[in-house]
């Protein structure tokens, strides 16, 4: 974490509390506020802090809204990628305010699969699916964090896998992914999106 993480989250919290005093807040950098409220905002001020700290531009701001524990709205801003923003409500996804049209799947040999950290996958229940996709011809890269999910929603990537996620890493992205038509599978013992595969239906059909 950096000082900027705290500054961004504090500003977001200030605005939420001012506009919605009865809502809850779950943020990465500060203690939760009213976590049992019907509406709870989920904040990751800088998703990809390591990239940010190293001058890599593949980081973003994540804001989500849960209703009774279920992700219902998500927002992602990529300040260094033409200040692009993408949002979704589980039914539709928008990019810079326009309806997003996702690029179709074009086959395993042309597919791109992504993860944030390939080393962490080895002991994960996801690893066998990751390896099978590679064996079937997919190209693997570690263009991860929120930028990987952004490429997935565009359709430039076909599968994104992650392990060891915390709520603020992924909950704001769930409505965006669903609105873009992506299939989401939770693996492991807990259904908390900590072990996740998200991607196009066709690639799931091929590897599972």
The pLDDT tens digits for 106-125 are 999 999 999 999 888 988 88
pLDDT tens digit sequence for 141-189: 999 999 999 999 999 999 999 999 999 999 999 999 999 999 999 987 8
Looking at the fold, whether 139 and 94 belong to one and the same domain comes out as no
* Percent residues over pLDDT 90 in the chain: 91
Q: Which of 73, 54, 19 is closest to 145 using CA atoms?
A: 54
Global pTM value: 0.96
Instruction: Give the DSSP letter of residue 105.
Output: P
**What are the distances in angstroms from CA 156 to CA 27, 78, 101, 151, 160?**
30, 16, 11, 5, 11
Q: Tokens representing 109?
A: 């040999």
Whole-number pLDDT of residue 191? 85
Whole-number pLDDT of residue 98? 98
Q: Which of 182, 166, 32 is closest to 100 using CA atoms?
A: 182
Looking at the fold, whether 126 and 168 belong to one and the same domain comes out as yes
Looking at the fold, whether 149 and 188 belong to one and the same domain comes out as yes
Looking at the fold, whether 164 and 95 belong to one and the same domain comes out as no
Q: Domain holding 64: CATH number?
A: 3.30.540.10
Residue 59 contacts residue 48 (beta carbons within 8 Å): yes
> Looking at 68, 99, 130, which one is the last position of a domain?
99
- State the pairing for strand pair 112-115/93-95: unpaired
Q: Tokens representing 195?
A: 């072990």
Looking at the fold, whether 200 and 112 belong to one and the same domain comes out as yes
Domain of residue 15 covers: 3-99
Based on the structure, what is the number of domains in the chain?
Answer: 2
Q: Which of 104, 161, 162, 155 is closest to 133 using CA atoms?
A: 161
């Amino acid at each position: 974490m950096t000082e900027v993480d705290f500054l961004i989250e504090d500003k977001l919290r200030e605005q939420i509390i001012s506009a919605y005093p009865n809502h809850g807040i779950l943020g990465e950098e500060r203690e939760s506020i009213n976590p049992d409220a019907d509406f709870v905002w989920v904040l990751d001020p800088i998703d990809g802090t390591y990239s940010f700290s190293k001058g890599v531009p593949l980081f973003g701001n994540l804001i989500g809204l849960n209703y009774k524990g279920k992700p219902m709205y998500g927002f992602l801003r990529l300040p260094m990628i033409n200040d692009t923003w993408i949002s979704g409500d589980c039914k539709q996804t928008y990019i810079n305010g326009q309806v997003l049209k996702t690029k179709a799947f074009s086959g395993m040999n042309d597919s791109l699969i992504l993860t944030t950290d390939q080393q962490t996958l080895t002991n994960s229940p996801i690893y066998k699916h990751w390896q099978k996709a590679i064996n079937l011809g997919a190209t693997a890269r570690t263009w991860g964090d929120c930028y990987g999910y952004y490429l997935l929603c565009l359709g430039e990537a076909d599968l994104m896998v992650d392990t060891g996620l915390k709520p603020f890493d992924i909950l704001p992205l769930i409505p965006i992914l669903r609105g873009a038509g992506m299939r989401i599978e939770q693996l492991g013992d807990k259904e908390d999106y900590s072990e996740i595969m998200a991607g196009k239906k066709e690639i799931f059909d091929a590897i599972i």
